[in-house]
Amino acid sequence: MLDRIKASLPSLAPAEQRVGKLVLADPRAFANLPITELAGRAHVSKPTVVRFCRSVGYDGLSDFKLKLAGSVSEGVPFVHRSVDVDDKTSDVLVKVIDNTVAAFLKYRNDASSFAIQKATDALEATCTAGKRIEFFGVGNSGIVAQDAQHKFFRLGVNTVAYSDGHMQVMSASMMGPGDCVVVISNSGRTRDLMDACDIARKNGATTIVITASGSPLANLANLAKDARHIHLAADHPEGYDRYSPMVSRLLHLMIIDILATCLALRIGGKLQPLLKEMKNNLRSKRYA
């Protein structure tokens, strides 16, 4: 978060730059001081403090301070710790857990609640209209797509998951306005996923992409300049060259959990009887 603020300083107005420098000088104090005190220390108006928070990608001062406090908490391992060949089992345990915790906390602090809400609105509209919600992923992301299909299926949603490139293209070709496809990719560079996403978009379907910022798939969504194309950034401190994706897979699963939970809360009224019946019908499948 502090790196983002530092990188954003040159593009900000002079008054907002003073607020940014105040954050960088003492982030813990900034997170705890009232807006009047912050404005006084930065020699700006109180609205300028709020504008600064929005300029660097947050909903307002309260949202900014909450996430700032989380990012500077004591003992949070925000630096990626690679697993080495000569590590002991105890070292591997700590490093893998620390990497995962760091990625989750980073996402909590950086995530755009506006983008999540936008995605939830799209999923709810598709669900209400009785249209299709499909999940596309390849390799590791294909497993996440299957998990997503299972979660949304339990909500009574008309959904399916595809991990085969040919099936994705064929399915995207049959999509239309009102349908929604969620595309999951760690690298954001898989040709099959980009092709299927582009086909679905051109056919009028809503596309939600869960992938790294700056990747070709993310740019495909960002360049569309259409409210029906939504990018949920999934950035993490994991290297691509040494081990198969671990943190990214867990991060993608968490984002799916967030979307499923948000949708369940939206349609909860009609969902409760369905889940109750499902639970009753499954009792015979378990030992007492």
User: Could you count the other beta carbons within 10 Å of the beta carbon of residue 125?
Assistant: 14
Q: Give pLDDT tens digits for 230-253.
A: 999 988 755 544 455 578 889 999
Band (pLDDT 50/70/90 cuts) for residue 225 is low
DSSP H or E run through 16: helix 14-25
Q: What domains can be seen in the chain, in order of their start residue?
A: 2-71 (1.10.10.10), 113-277 (3.40.50.10490)
Question: Model confidence at 82, in pLDDT bands (50, 70, 90)?
Answer: low
Rounded CA-CA distance 62/68 in Å is: 10
Residue 148: what pLDDT? 96
Each residue of 1-23: pLDDT tens digit? 777 788 788 888 999 999 999 99
Predicted pLDDT at 77 = 43
DSSP for 104-149, written as a single string: HHHHHHH--HHHHHHHHHHHHHHHHTT--EEEE--THHHHHHHHHH
The tens digit of pLDDT for each residue in 105-124 reads 888 888 888 999 999 999 99
pTM: 0.69
Residue 209 · residue 185 · CB < 8 Å: yes
For residue 98, the model assigns a pLDDT of 78
| Interatomic CA distance for residues 229 and 222, integer angstroms | 8
164: helix, coil or strand?
A: coil
